[in-house]
Amino acid sequence: MSNRVVASAARANLAERPQADVLIIGGGINGVAAFRDLALQGVDVVLIEKNDFISGASAASSHMIHGGVRYLENGEFRLVHEAVRERNDLLSTAPHFVKPLQTTIPIHSAFSGLFSAPLRMLTHRSGKPKERGALLIKVGLILYDSFSRDGGKVPRHEFHGRQHSRRLLPDLHSGVKYTATYWDAAIRDPERLGQDLIRDGRQAGGSNARAVNYTSAVALSGTDVVLEDGPTGRRIPFTAKVVINAAGPWVDLVNGALGRSTRLMAGTKGSHIVLEHPELLAATGGRELFFENSDGRIVLIHPLKDRVLVGTSDIEHNIADPAECTEDEVDYFIQLIAQVLPEISVERSHIVYRFSGVRPLPDHDDLPPGFVSRDYRIDRDDLNPGGPRIITLVGGKWTTFRASAENLADYALAELGRKRKLSTRGLAIGGGKNYPVTDHARHAWIELHNERIGSHRAETLLDRYGTIAHDVIEAILADEADAPLHTLPEYSTAEVRFLAQTEDVLRLTDFVQRRTDLAFTGQISPEILSEVAQLLAPTLGWREGRAAVEVHRAMEQFAGLQGQESADSELAL
Ligand SMILES: Cc1cc2nc3c(=O)[nH]c(=O)nc-3n(C[C@H](O)[C@H](O)[C@H](O)COP(=O)(O)OP(=O)(O)OC[C@H]3O[C@@H](n4cnc5c(N)ncnc54)[C@H](O)[C@@H]3O)c2cc1C
């Protein structure tokens, strides 16, 4: 069954068939990965997401797929081991979006932190963050390399003195005495990888794998979970044998709606800015700069999509409030760039996008945010007698999504008395299937599609969608009215329609923020929004006037997310 049919049928038939073996609440990366895993096991599964898929914490990451070298000093060896393994796997299973990332740490001293770090590792909680000196970082990276030993896909770390470091990165602060360089990975399009997982799940499970966005779990009625359809407000009592609470930082609010009072989470807010700044981009030399800011926080300057991503903060946050990147955070980010690249002038006008989210961290009492475990755990509980078993994911990083989803699915399978049919380990994801990784294979793929659509377009679509590009090309060729967009000639009308029809687009912002990278790369203008909205309107059956409302809302939202100081952005649509 095509994704197009399954996507639209799922929303419609939630009310017609309000039951499934497993109900997953929360369509962030962990929820969609659990959805795919269970669908692959042949389980009747429903995934609901209150907003759009991959719009919560999963849309706020630093785009790193990493073992977490800094977690070593907190003694989180289990997590680092699993995360390095998952990073290595993702380089093979999602090569269209996950790419190796060279990461350089600028270091100002030789011995700093030697005493405080082991103490932190032993006590897991004491000690103010102190600057990490060269020796400490060297030990950490030797350990980190050792975690990569089996099946290592990335080169080992390198250490350089001042002169060599200046040759590699001429704009570095003159106080930098050493640099350490190691390899992790970056995810270019996290929101698109989320779409790939949903697509995989639907393809595996057909009408028994239903994923619906803009639908929330709002209450419990007897043993049913009451779902609310966002667009209509319609309420649906839903019966499931097992409920997976994958609501990330909102886990306690979901439990509260289901009549359970928990305090499992205490997430911290983290923000980023995206800069369009060719000089800064060039100064990174294509590497992520990962370093300690003057306050001891680990921060990063990450070249991505011809832009530079800078982050991040770590601020205690009340989950009932929206997360926004404040002007103080912007000041902090601009200042941190000056710590390592002092000659490069950065202004607010370079900012093309900013975003913020809440890390799903476990409740941590008075432990400072930097020391809180980034590992995850799974809690099991009876919702109420005779009702479904509830399984809650507490924590969980982007990097480890496959492993945490596998664990969630195993818990659910055990509750259902069923056996796992298939491991997701090593299974290619979406457009990563048969992705041409070598230059030769890439050239051959483009040549294959050249005659039908032209090599430039074939390559653009391959970069955007991986091998799902093949389906996009078929849709484009089947659409006689296809034409480049006037305001955005790199996209065409049939491509926009394909995404709208197959990927659950409900709002204009879904399209520009999460189906494409137009917002992230700062390509939003009233003209582009207007043209895209006019195209979406007939495809999505919008009533007269809805396109104008969508454009107005999107403009209001993006006004606050670019460089200028402005009134708080209106994030809730
Ligand atoms: C600033 C920052 C930087 C980070 N950087 C990295 C990084 O570089 N690498 C890395 O590996 N990890 C990183 N992380 C961590 C990672 O992003 C998260 O741990 C991960 O995305 C959590 O995914 P999730 O699916 O559990 O939660 P979420 O993505 O938050 O998904 C939960 C979903 O539940 C939905 N929901 C809530 N209530 C309801 C309801 N009642 N009904 C239905 N749905 C509901 C929400 O709308 C949300 O979409 C970072 C996180 C932050 C905040």
DSSP states of 196-263 as a string? Answer: HHHHHHHHHHGGGEEEESSEEEEEEETTEEEEEETTT--EEEEEEEEEEE--GGGHHHHHHHTT----
State both tokens at 208.
């028994």
State the number of CA atoms in the 13 A half-sphere of 125 facing the CB. Answer: 4
Centre of ligand 1 to C-alpha 405, Å, is 13
Sequential pLDDT tens for the chain (573 residues): 555 545 656 676 899 999 999 999 999 999 999 999 999 999 999 999 999 999 999 999 999 999 887 777 777 888 888 999 999 999 999 999 999 999 999 988 765 554 455 545 544 454 455 566 777 787 788 888 887 765 556 788 888 999 999 999 999 999 999 899 999 999 999 999 999 999 999 999 999 999 999 999 999 999 999 999 999 999 999 999 999 999 999 999 999 999 888 899 988 999 999 999 999 999 999 999 998 888 888 899 999 999 999 999 999 899 989 999 999 999 999 999 999 999 999 999 999 999 999 999 988 777 776 677 788 899 988 666 777 889 999 998 999 999 999 999 999 999 999 999 999 999 999 999 999 999 999 999 999 999 999 999 999 999 999 999 999 999 999 999 999 999 999 999 999 999 999 999 999 999 999 999 999 999 999 999 999 999 999 999 999 999 999 999 999 999 877 765 443 333 332
Q: Which residue has the tokens 């602060």?
A: 173
Rounded CA gap, 223 and 241, in Å? 10
| Ligand 1 binding pocket, CB closer than 6 Å | 25-31, 48-51, 55-58, 60-64, 216-217, 246-250, 254, 257, 270, 312, 357-360, 396-399
Rounded CA gap, 16 and 229, in Å? 13
Burial class (CB in 10 A: 0-12, 13-18, 19+), 99: middle
Q: Atom 37 of ligand 1 has which residue's CA nearest to it?
A: 247
Q: Atom 14 of ligand 1 has which residue's CA nearest to it?
A: 61
Model's pTM, two decimal places?
0.93
Closest Cα partner for 24 from 419, 510, 413, 408? 408
Residue among 58, 86, 315 whose CB has most ligand 1 atoms within 8 A, to mutate: 58
Say what the pLDDT of residue 301 is. 97
Rounded CA gap, 573 and 570, in Å? 7
| Atom of ligand 1 minimally distant from the CA of 269 | 53
What length does the chain have?
573
Centre of ligand 1 to C-alpha 359, Å, is 7
| Atom of ligand 1 minimally distant from the CA of 357 | 53
Rounded CA gap, 107 and 177, in Å? 6
State both tokens at 4.
């197009």
Centre of ligand 1 to C-alpha 545, Å, is 33
